[in-house]
Structure 1
Amino acid sequence: MQAGRAFTLKKEERITSRKLMDKLFNGGGSRAMTSFPVRMVYLEVERESEDEPQAKVLVSVSKRHFKRAVKRNRVKRQLREAYRKNKHIVLDRMQTRPGRTVALALIWLDNNLHDTANVEGHVRNLLVRLSEKL
């Protein structure tokens, strides 16, 4: 961990736009990779403004995997925390591409809960692989 780096996850860094979600899942240009139990779908797009973040994230846990909201919320919290702590891996790579931003969706695939360190390891693995492809 480097000093001076903000390990935050602000609202601007989350995908809230329906248009961007449609582009990510239905646009055809997106790519996916899996590190079970996490699947990451990503798409590199043009940056709309200079103050827009270079990486935006969406976290999804299906009701099909966990009927109870308590468990779904726990997994979403684990995924968000793992991304927040390791997003610098992708952001450092995106510094070389100033006019671009990457949209990521982290999707849970398993019917079982995992411990936080395990989830973080899988998310870090996906972010490292993504940074190599960008």
Structure 2
Amino acid sequence: MFEKGSTEAKTSYLFPFKVFYLVDSDVPPNQPPQVLFSISKRNFKKAVDRNLLRRRCREAYRKNKHLFFSSPEQRPPSYIAFILIAKTKVDYETIERGLQKLIGRLGKEL
């Protein structure tokens, strides 16, 4: 995805995430997207903090990934990279709200 990023991948911002996504026509439309969560070592020096935020992001995605398949004619992206851009620890509610809004936005853009 990052190799094709400059030409084919699209981006979106919504605190606390920056999102890169790519729609690949070779992937079947009913297959769930491959997802990546990235937490910067520059902003969170301790691995414990990065792992905590990564777990929060994964759980928020797990609980809300059904939003991609809410309408049958909607095709979800094939690959998605969620990059946490927050400089401090973010609570779970903020992460979940941001993720829900981003999934809704991605659904409208596609």
The answer to whether the Cα contact below 8 Å between 2:18 and 2:84 also exists between their aligned partners in 1 is yes
Residue correspondences, number: 110
User: Which consecutive residues of structure 2, in runs of 5 or more, have no partner in the other structure?
Assistant: none
1:33-83 deviations in Å (ceiling 9; x for gaps): 111111111110023468x82311111011011011000111111111111
The answer to whether the Cα contact below 8 Å between 1:61 and 1:108 also exists between their aligned partners in 2 is yes
1:80 and 2:58 matched = yes
Q: What is the CA–CA distance in structure 1 between the aligned matches of 2:82 and 2:69, rounded to whole Å?
A: 16
Cα separation, partners in 2 of 1:101 and 1:35, compared to 1, 3 Å: closer
Match of 2:91 in 1: 115
1:43 and 2:22 matched = yes
1:58 and 2:39 matched = no
Comparing both chains, which one has the higher relative contact order based on Cα–Cα distances under 8 Å and sequence gaps of 6 or more?
2
The RMSD of aligned alpha carbons is: 2.2
User: Where do 4+ consecutive residues of structure 1 move more than 6 Å?
Assistant: none
User: Which consecutive residues of structure 1, in runs of 5 or more, have no partner in the other structure?
Assistant: 1-19
Match of 1:70 in 2: 48
Pairwise CA distance, 1:120: 0.3
Q: Percent identity among equivalent residues?
A: 32
The answer to whether the Cα contact below 8 Å between 1:53 and 1:101 also exists between their aligned partners in 2 is no
